[in-house]
Amino acid sequence: MTGPDEPAALHATELGFRYRARGEWALRECGFTVPRGRITALVGRNGAGKSTLLHLAGGLLRPAHGEIRVLGAAPGGGAARSRVALLTQDKPLYPRFTVADTLRMGGRLNASWDQPVAERVVREGGIALSARVGELSPGRRTRVALALALGKRPELLLLDEPLADLDPVVRGEIMATLMAEAAEREVSIVLSSHVLPDLEQTCDWVVLLRAGRVELSEDADALREGHALLTGHVEEEPTLREHTVVHRRTHGRQLTALVRPRGPVGGTWHVERPGLEEILLGHLQDGTRGAKGAAA
């Protein structure tokens, strides 16, 4: 296991990035820490800045403001390059290469290459080494790209929406592979995904981006313990004023509210402990955040 004094998997201070062509800030004033040894869910709505953050962490972009560190080092530098693997949305592979050609290329490009690990990831997907990459299904191409990333034996694996185009069965298989790598090799994983149900049983840390800013960076169990899902009559709403209301909705005279309690919940509310998916959906809804009693 990693020690308490080892640097974080990711650490950002006042991080900002601006796309000059559009004149827009993709990220602003982002500060957060992701501990090592975690499987982290990076979530946010389209345009929230998830891909930009991962590209900064992978060294493909440079901050316009502030700093980001990976495993205690600057992204893209010699100290980090061999320890970090980034799998982007487009999964760049050479379609005319066979799978064997692709893995050989991985071996030539990475001094720490582990051919047995890469072949195992491919083999678990039922993929022949002689198959041409361009003739594979999207799910199998994703598995080959993942084999390239894991064959590098990274300490930090950054995944930018790698499962978006896969069916539930294949997503489950690949998530199982990721969990095994995290457990057996102590790989820290940051996974950007819109498929929130897949994150419930997999991720133990959450970073939530909202309009280019970090709204949450917390342990997943602490998030579950720190929220409550309340159901009751709309006339009970005044009793919520002492709590942080993340999201609320009404149906007739019934009110349902996701809250971060600031003490005992008064009134006659029915109180449940929400799942991670419900918490993330609540925070992703449009509306005001962070103020007492704020209603979304």
pLDDT of residue 289 exceeding 80: no
> What does DSSP say about strands 39-43 and 213-219: parallel, antiparallel, or unpaired?
unpaired
Model pLDDT, residue 20:
79
pLDDT (average), residues 208-213 = 94
Residue type at 204 in one-letter notation: D
Q: From CA 49, how far away is CA 18, in angstroms rounded?
A: 11
pLDDT at 1: 46
Q: Where would I find the H helices in 70-137?
A: 78-81, 99-109, 115-124
The sign one gets for the Cα dihedral 202, 203, 208, 209 is negative
Task: Tell me what the mean pLDDT of segment 160-187 comes to.
Answer: 82
Residue 176 confidence (pLDDT): 86
CA distance 6 to 18: 31
Q: Which range has the worst mean pLDDT, 35-44, 73-82, 202-211?
A: 73-82
Could you read off the pLDDT of 1-16 as tens digits, one per residue? 455 567 899 999 999 9
Each residue's pLDDT tens digit, 234-279 = 998 888 988 999 999 999 999 999 999 998 887 789 999 999 999 9
Q: Is the pLDDT of residue 232 over 80?
A: yes
What is the mean predicted confidence (pLDDT) over 224-242? 92
The mean per-residue pLDDT over the stretch 116-141 comes to 93
Phi-psi region at 170: left, alpha or beta (left = phi > 0; alpha = psi -120 to 50):
alpha
> Does position 295 have pLDDT exceeding 50, yes or no?
no
Q: String of b and e for 109-136 (b: at least 16 CB within 10 Å)?
A: ebeebbeebbbebbeebebeeeeebeeb
Give me the pLDDT at residue 291, please. 37
User: Would the pLDDT of 135 be above 70?
Assistant: yes
Beta strands 65-70 and 205-210, pairing class:
unpaired
* Of residues 235, 184, 170, 211, the one with CA closest to residue 46: 211
Looking at the predicted structure, is the pLDDT value of residue 160 above 60?
Answer: yes
Per residue in 87-112, pLDDT (tens digit) is 988 778 999 999 999 999 999 999 88
